[in-house]
Chain A
Amino acid sequence: MKGNSYFSRKLHSLLGIIPLGGFIVVHGLTNYQAFERGPEGFSNGVHFINSLPLIPLLEIFGIYLPLLFHGIYGLYVAYQSNTNTGRFKYGRNWAFTAQRVTGVITFVFVFWHVYQTRMQVYFGNITHEELGSTMNQIASSPTYFVLYVIGVLAAVFHFSNGLWAFLISWGITIGPKAQRISSYICMGVFVIVSALFILSLVAFRGDEFAEAASAALALTNIG
């Protein structure tokens, strides 16, 4: 790649945490409302996000552009790496390979997931209020449910392990002790954020989301 890869790689590392890492945590917490407070909690979360100011700008500069840069440059980074876990069976070396594998899985998953949800709202096929029922349809299909669990685990692992690497790449955790402690914290982040997403996926399978959807549909039909 032409130009100075120091800047592009550094930007890639930064964007993975700010804003993308922040986004994934907010996304997980919003979804978790579905588990904790049911359809109403989830739709309140969706309402809250949609009531933020300058939504189109936030979406473009906070999500779409960073996601495209991080994803496409990340594919190039993955292409540049060898896998030598056969020769060096160390945990960190496995994480190195897993970071690249989960990155590619996340790349595919995020495009597919955005197409199924946000793009459908753009197309006018569904409204923001109907996202709960869309998720109910997706999560109720066993195949989609499994694929979503795989996609979510890949994305959250990529974020958590990426957070660990970010702390090194920016020179925050330097010694082996600091890096070991940060790896425990990042493992904790992986467990907690994964739980948020998986519990909400389970919650989306509930009938109340299908009913809430038909109620919302009835409301729009009346209106």
Chain B
Amino acid sequence: MAETTVATKSVKFIITRQDTPDSKPYTEEFEIPYRANMNVISGLMEIQRNPKKSDGGSTAPVCWDSNCLEEVCGACSMVINGKPRQACSALVDKLEQPIRLEPMSTFPVVRDLVINRERMFGALKRVKAWIPIDGTYDLGPGPRMAETKRQWAYELSKCMTCGVCLEACPNVNDRNSFIGPAAISQVRLFNAHPTGDMNKEERLDALMTDGGIEGCGNSQNCVRACPKGIPLTTSIAAINKDTTKHLFKKWLGM
């Protein structure tokens, strides 16, 4: 008896679709059979296997982006029931139905739920979010990092450039050049590293230009939206302190 009840159960999706980067978005409804422990990705896979709308009409399969399926790659970010998050860790049992899926439209939409997060990688290049150790000879081991520092720096290193913090930020939009919380937190991470610290001014300088850290308006949505629980607002405030100090040091010629 129990099995027949499960078999008749279904999951409803309302998906915002867009055929090309410039075309108008529209919504389509899907109803798929329920299976135990489904997540949004497995729901999308089901639609891909049988691309039929709930009214019976056939349609092109819905496009989405995903990779690791364990919330570490950041590829499957989308707006699920109004909140930006990862589709792989969005369990159907825990979601209100109908499940509404939209692309994170702060980013350019490529097709359906697929977005282009290139601006985030551009931001990492802009702030030099790496540690330069390449050279013509072996530089030997660098200075050691204190364990107490490593513990909080590790939290910052969990950033997967998923873009959820940018989607949640009211200051990341077409009228504003704000770099977004993720890159600022990465500056804190690489400046915390004993070898990275040797080039910290370069990273601070990058944040003290147009569209840098000053774009933060302290709405603090980022820290609440971050799927990895990264203390983004603490990172922003800490880098505010560092850029302020750097500003005065530059003025005083220190």
Could you tell me which A residues sit within 8 Å of B by CB distance? 1, 3-6, 9-10, 77, 79-84, 87-88, 90, 92-93, 95-97, 99, 164-165, 168-176, 179
Contact indicator A88/B176 (Cβ below 8 Å) = no
Q: Quote the shortest CB–CB distance from B126 to chain A (angstroms).
A: 14
Q: Of A6, A9, A96, A174, which is within 8 A of B219 by CB?
A: A96
Contact indicator B210/A6 (Cβ below 8 Å) = yes
Most chain B CB within 10 A, of A81, A95, A170, is at A81
Q: Type the 1/0 row for B102-138, where 1 means its CB is closer than 8 Å to any CB of A.
A: 0000000000000000000000000000000000000
Q: Quote the shortest CB–CB distance from A51 to chain B (angstroms).
A: 36
Given contacts A80-B175, A176-B231, contact A93 B170 (CB under 8 A): yes
A-contacting residues, B204-254, CB 8 Å? 207-221, 224-225, 231, 233-234, 236-245, 247
Tell whether B173 is near chain A: CB-to-CB under 8 Å.
yes
Contact indicator B210/A171 (Cβ below 8 Å) = no
Q: Of B170, B208, B220, B243, which is within 8 A of A82 by CB?
A: B170
Q: Of B207, B208, B211, B240, which is within 8 A of A168 by CB?
A: B240
Contact indicator A174/B241 (Cβ below 8 Å) = yes
Q: Which residues of B contact A96 (CB under 8 A)?
A: 170, 217-220
Could you tell me which B residues sit within 8 Å of A by CB distance? 82-83, 168, 170-171, 173, 175-177, 207-221, 224-225, 231, 233-234, 236-245, 247
Q: Of A84, A165, A179, which is within 8 A of B170 by CB?
A: A84
Given contacts A3-B210, A10-B247, A176-B231, contact A168 B237 (CB under 8 A): yes
Q: Which 9 A-B pairs have the closest CB atoms?
A: A171-B241, A96-B219, A9-B214, A171-B240, A92-B220, A174-B237, A80-B176, A82-B170, A6-B208
Given contacts A84-B221, A96-B219, A170-B240, contact A176 B210 (CB under 8 A): no
Contact indicator A90/B224 (Cβ below 8 Å) = yes
Contact indicator A90/B218 (Cβ below 8 Å) = no
Q: Of B209, B217, B237, which is within 8 A of A171 by CB?
A: B237
Q: Which residues of B contact A95 (CB under 8 A)?
A: 219
Q: Which residues of A contact B244 (CB under 8 A)?
A: 10, 170-171
Please, could you name 21 A-B residue pairs with CB atoms under 8 Å apart, sorted by A?
Answer: A1-B210, A6-B213, A6-B243, A10-B214, A81-B170, A81-B173, A82-B173, A84-B221, A92-B221, A93-B220, A95-B219, A169-B218, A170-B240, A171-B238, A171-B240, A171-B243, A172-B241, A173-B237, A174-B241, A175-B237, A179-B237
Contact indicator B238/A82 (Cβ below 8 Å) = no
Q: Quote the shortest CB–CB distance from B138 to chain A (angstroms).
A: 38
Contact indicator B218/A165 (Cβ below 8 Å) = yes
Docked Cα-Cα span, A171 to B246, in Å, equals: 12
Q: Which residues of B contact A3 (CB under 8 A)?
A: 210
Other A-B pairs beyond A1-B210, A81-B176, A96-B219, 17, CB < 8 Å? A5-B210, A6-B209, A6-B243, A10-B214, A80-B173, A83-B170, A88-B168, A88-B225, A92-B221, A93-B221, A96-B170, A99-B217, A164-B218, A170-B240, A171-B239, A171-B244, A176-B231
Q: Which residues of A contact B216 (CB under 8 A)?
A: 169
- Considering the complex, give the chain A residue whose CB is closest to the CB of B178: A80
Q: Quote the shortest CB–CB distance from B42 to chain A (angstroms).
A: 25
Docked Cα-Cα span, A169 to B212, in Å, equals: 12
Contact indicator B212/A6 (Cβ below 8 Å) = yes
Contact indicator B220/A6 (Cβ below 8 Å) = no
Q: Quote the shortest CB–CB distance from A180 to chain B (angstroms).
A: 11
Q: Which residues of B contact A171 (CB under 8 A)?
A: 237-245
Most chain B CB within 10 A, of A1, A82, A92, A170, is at A82
Q: Which residues of B contact A174 (CB under 8 A)?
A: 234, 237-238, 241
